[in-house]
Chain A
Amino acid sequence: MRKIVAKEVLAPGIKKFVIEHPQIARKRQPGQFVIVRVHPEGERFPLTIADADPERGTITLVVQEIGHSTLELGRKEPGDFLMDVVGPLGRPTPIRHYGRVVCMGGGVGVAEIYPVARALKEAGNEVVGIIGARTRELVIMEAEMRSATHQLIVCTDDGSYGVHGLVTRPLQEMIDRAERIDHVFCIGPVPMMKAVAEVTRRPGIPTSVSLNPIMVDGTGMCGACRVTVGGVTRFACVDGPDFDAHEVDFDELMKRLAQYRVEEQMSLEMLRRRIEEAGLARAAS
């Protein structure tokens, strides 16, 4: 059981949790994740470690509510407990001096690219950040990203804030201007990572993406997280989650992510009904 010590709503449906776990707080490195189980009947699912405070013994998770498990987590409050938090899992992102790097985050992926950007800056890189969201109110962690980069570009799909368009647009413009880019790091929805991979492929800019397949154990035991990279099957939980974007079979990943769509829908409906009934019961009493 792990205690939630703080919670903050970053944007509609995106919540930040600070959780007590001294060992993980001490150990974790950028790019690593934890597997969480909210309650005894709950699923095991992965969340990136967005930040940690080794002194206080806490880690920070940022979660987007998209289905049953993330919604249940989202309903937890400070003082509540999570059933399990295990980690830090996965290989850390290789942090070194690349030169000039671009760190891209989309949606909740901003929370996941943040520790990477900060570490790259600390390692002496010149860091350009490009973050994006559908609309202004969904832009998260802008201030943090600003401090973790030398230059930050914010994009919104609908143009309500910052650059109008997808994150690939400013990236393409940088390439067109022949700006120096030694490495691109990108975390976000699969279609975004795929698009970024396409943009950097021709100019041959080394690009890392952090893949998000379905996971169960997170320790290489089950093989649920298999992804094809360079024609070879890899387990994202132990071989990744970072991979060379130009080698990833994104289409296969998208298909695999849709494996439980029917079940997920059913499970979500059930939870919604339960929440509604609980609400009605409370209102009646």
Chain B
Amino acid sequence: MPREVVPTKTPMPEQDPKERVRNFREVPYGYTEELAIQEALRCLQCKKPTCIAGCPVNIDIPGFIDLVAKGDFLGAARRIKATNLLPAICGRVCPQEEQCEKACVLSKKFESVAIGRLERFVADFERETGQIQRPAIPRRTGKKVAVVGSGPAGLTVAADLIQQGHEVTVFEALHALGGVLVYGIPEFRLPKSILEAEVNFLASLGVQFEPSYVIGKTETVDELLERFDAVFLGVGAGLPHFMRIPGENLNGVYSANEYLTRANLMRAYMFPEWDTPIKKGKNVAVIGGGNTAMDAVRTALRLGAENAYLIYRRSRAEMPARLEEIHHAEEEGVQFRLLENPTRIIGDDKGWVKEIELISMQLGEPDESGRRRPVPIPGSEHRLEVDTVVVAVGQGANPLLISTTPGLKTNRWGYLEVDPETGETSRERVYAGGDIVRGGATVILAMGDGRRAARAIHERIR
């Protein structure tokens, strides 16, 4: 029966921008049951759905949306969980506009179905109503697997293998579990309570967690191999890049990792009730255009910045950040300084940041990435008064673990080389996935890697 298509996505209620820049609470409130059903009804239930192929883990999208439309929210949640273990997280942070929603048939003429919002809704419904289903765990196999790193890759491996009856221990260098999800992505985008619920769930299934335990230091991979049948490395990227321009060690210059770790993991926004301080700059410049930069600049506003600048060397169209976050940042009053690039940071005599020198850019010919290359315009240097600078220009492979594990093959950027079918590294019984293999990627890709490695590990040890 042909239905009239509503051209736009059902809006999701959100905190007023004026209000939310003064708190760290989550920005979108999420759909109500009515709104979810309303949005689910926009789905055409295509005979040959293209959206599924757009999802890195191939969620049965029309299937779960159909269940939402019928009001069977729990059924929908379970349908998603057959392929995606962390839907409350992916529904919030996946770049849907480039994945499933881009492939949605509706998006050719109208706005796509809000797949991400629906995913989030059903996951929240399941959790908030306390109806998370416990899988039946088979008899213990007696096999043991060590997972290094508790980011989305590691958590996925742990979840899959515990459900196969293996014993799983997750080692994490930081004191909190979740990887970038806990130390990088701020509370206003991904509440810690959601992550905690996921981790507690895994713990309730029997996964052992060892936080504050650095593999390569507290214990080496080779030592783990004596105690465990297999080891999975999901250690992320975790090496902050700097720009190597003069003035980068001035007081008030942060890497995004440090800035976000202080703010999120250490709750510096609660200082002095919590003990870790952070510079609450008046004029803050964040360099970069990815999710990390967006998170940092929006954090700066919430810490009370009067001017929060986002300095990006290309134009808005090339920004790698999620569209929704770019919108949110604009609404909140972030000042976008596009086609500009820092050349040096200038300090006062006490060693504090005072100004940043920028050079204007124009877009030249496309480079290897297919994006037009930013080229500096000679003589266009100019200055901006700032007291805090956050460098968010990407990360590299942290060498801490790799350098203490002989025989691990890396590529020219220092990332681990793995068998694309199994995720196995050059070391037998050692698997890897997520950002340490791909370089800075996404949550869902890290989970996909975890899933594939878990399957290969299971095949091998069962």
* Interchain CB contact under 8 A, B173 and A219: yes
* Interchain CB contact under 8 A, A89 and B214: yes
The 8 closest A-B pairs by CB, nearest first: A255-B351, A263-B277, A222-B258, A223-B255, A86-B212, A84-B212, A43-B275, A41-B274
* Interchain CB contact under 8 A, A223 and B257: yes
Min Cβ gap B310→A in Å is: 20
CB contact between B214 and one of A86, A226, A266 (< 8 Å): that residue: A86
List the A side residues contacting B350 at CB < 8 Å: 255
The digit string for B258-272, where 1 denotes a CB below 8 A from any CB of A, is 100110001100111
CB contact between A44 and one of B242, B252, B266 (< 8 Å): that residue: B266
Please, how many angstroms separate the alpha-carbon atoms of A221 and B399 in the complex? Answer: 10
> Is B175 interfacial (CB 8 A cutoff)?
yes
Please, how many angstroms separate the alpha-carbon atoms of A68 and B214 in the complex? Answer: 26
Q: For window 210-251 of chain A, which residues contact chain B by CB distance below 8 Å?
A: 216-217, 219-224, 226-228, 233, 238
Q: For window 344-368 of chain B, which residues contact chain A by CB distance below 8 Å?
A: 350-351
Please, how many angstroms separate the alpha-carbon atoms of A266 and B266 in the complex? Answer: 17
The digit string for A67-97, where 1 denotes a CB below 8 A from any CB of B, is 0110000000000000111111100000000
Min Cβ gap A66→B in Å is: 14
List the A side residues contacting B83 at CB < 8 Å: none
> Interface residue count for A (Cβ, 8 Å)?
41
* Interchain CB contact under 8 A, B275 and A220: no
CB contact between B272 and one of A27, A69, A216, A263 (< 8 Å): that residue: A263
Residue of A nearest to B347 (CB): A255
> Is A285 interfacial (CB 8 A cutoff)?
no
Task: Please list 18 pairs of residues, one from A and one from B, whose beta carbons are closer than 8 Å in the complex, sorted by A's number.
Answer: A23-B213, A23-B219, A24-B218, A37-B175, A41-B267, A43-B266, A84-B175, A84-B212, A85-B212, A87-B214, A220-B238, A223-B255, A233-B248, A255-B350, A255-B351, A258-B351, A259-B252, A270-B272
CB contact between A221 and one of B262, B266, B274, B398 (< 8 Å): that residue: B398
Min Cβ gap B33→A in Å is: 36
* Interchain CB contact under 8 A, A86 and B398: no
List the B side residues contacting A84 at CB < 8 Å: 175, 211-212
Please, how many angstroms separate the alpha-carbon atoms of A224 and B240 in the complex? Answer: 10
Chain A binding surface SS class: mixed
Please, how many angstroms separate the alpha-carbon atoms of A171 and B254 in the complex? Answer: 38
Please, how many angstroms separate the alpha-carbon atoms of A270 and B273 in the complex? Answer: 9
> Interface residue count for B (Cβ, 8 Å)?
40
* Interchain CB contact under 8 A, B262 and A216: yes
Q: Which residues of A does B touch, CB under 8 Å?
A: 23-24, 27, 37, 41-44, 68-69, 83-89, 216-217, 219-224, 226-228, 233, 238, 252, 255-256, 258-260, 263-264, 266-267, 270
> Is B32 interfacial (CB 8 A cutoff)?
no
Please, how many angstroms separate the alpha-carbon atoms of A24 and B218 in the complex? Answer: 6
> Is B107 interfacial (CB 8 A cutoff)?
no
Residue of B nearest to A257 (CB): B251
* Interchain CB contact under 8 A, B255 and A222: yes
Please, how many angstroms separate the alpha-carbon atoms of A83 and B266 in the complex? Answer: 14
Please, how many angstroms separate the alpha-carbon atoms of A223 and B255 in the complex? Answer: 6
Chain B binding surface SS class: loop
* Interchain CB contact under 8 A, B275 and A42: yes
* Interchain CB contact under 8 A, A221 and B240: yes
* Interchain CB contact under 8 A, B242 and A223: yes
* Interchain CB contact under 8 A, A220 and B239: yes
List the A side residues contacting B275 at CB < 8 Å: 41-43, 68-69, 267
Residue of A nearest to B239 (CB): A220
Please, how many angstroms separate the alpha-carbon atoms of A69 and B274 in the complex? Answer: 11
Please, how many angstroms separate the alpha-carbon atoms of A89 and B258 in the complex? Answer: 18
* Interchain CB contact under 8 A, B218 and A259: no
Min Cβ gap B177→A in Å is: 13
Q: Name, among A220, A266, A270, the residue most crowded by chain B CB atoms within 10 Å (CB to CB).
A: A220
Please, how many angstroms separate the alpha-carbon atoms of A37 and B265 in the complex? Answer: 13
Min Cβ gap B257→A in Å is: 5
CB contact between B174 and one of A85, A217, A270 (< 8 Å): that residue: A217
Known A-B contacts A43-B275, A69-B275, A255-B351; A219 and B175 likewise in contact (beta carbons under 8 Å): no
Known A-B contacts A44-B266, A259-B251; A220 and B398 likewise in contact (beta carbons under 8 Å): yes
Residue of B nearest to A256 (CB): B251
Min Cβ gap A241→B in Å is: 14
List the A side residues contacting B271 at CB < 8 Å: 263, 267
Residue of A nearest to B274 (CB): A41
Known A-B contacts A263-B272, A270-B272; A221 and B238 likewise in contact (beta carbons under 8 Å): yes
> Is B22 interfacial (CB 8 A cutoff)?
no
The digit string for B347-391, where 1 denotes a CB below 8 A from any CB of A, is 000110000000000000000000000000000000000000000
The digit string for B237-248, where 1 denotes a CB below 8 A from any CB of A, is 011101000001
Please, how many angstroms separate the alpha-carbon atoms of A23 and B398 in the complex? Answer: 23
Min Cβ gap B431→A in Å is: 21
Residue of A nearest to B277 (CB): A263
Q: Name, among A88, A217, A233, A258, the residue most crowded by chain B CB atoms within 10 Å (CB to CB).
A: A217
* Interchain CB contact under 8 A, B262 and A252: no
Q: Name, among A37, A41, A238, the residue most crowded by chain B CB atoms within 10 Å (CB to CB).
A: A41
Residue of B nearest to A32 (CB): B217
Min Cβ gap A56→B in Å is: 18
Please, how many angstroms separate the alpha-carbon atoms of A223 and B400 in the complex? Answer: 14
* Interchain CB contact under 8 A, B399 and A220: yes
CB contact between B240 and one of A27, A37, A223, A252 (< 8 Å): that residue: A223
List the B side residues contacting A252 at CB < 8 Å: 249, 351
Min Cβ gap A37→B in Å is: 6
* Interchain CB contact under 8 A, A86 and B351: no
* Interchain CB contact under 8 A, A217 and B400: no
Please, how many angstroms separate the alpha-carbon atoms of A85 and B218 in the complex? Answer: 11
List the B side residues contacting A256 at CB < 8 Å: 249, 251, 351
* Interchain CB contact under 8 A, B212 and A216: no
List the A side residues contacting B252 at CB < 8 Å: 259
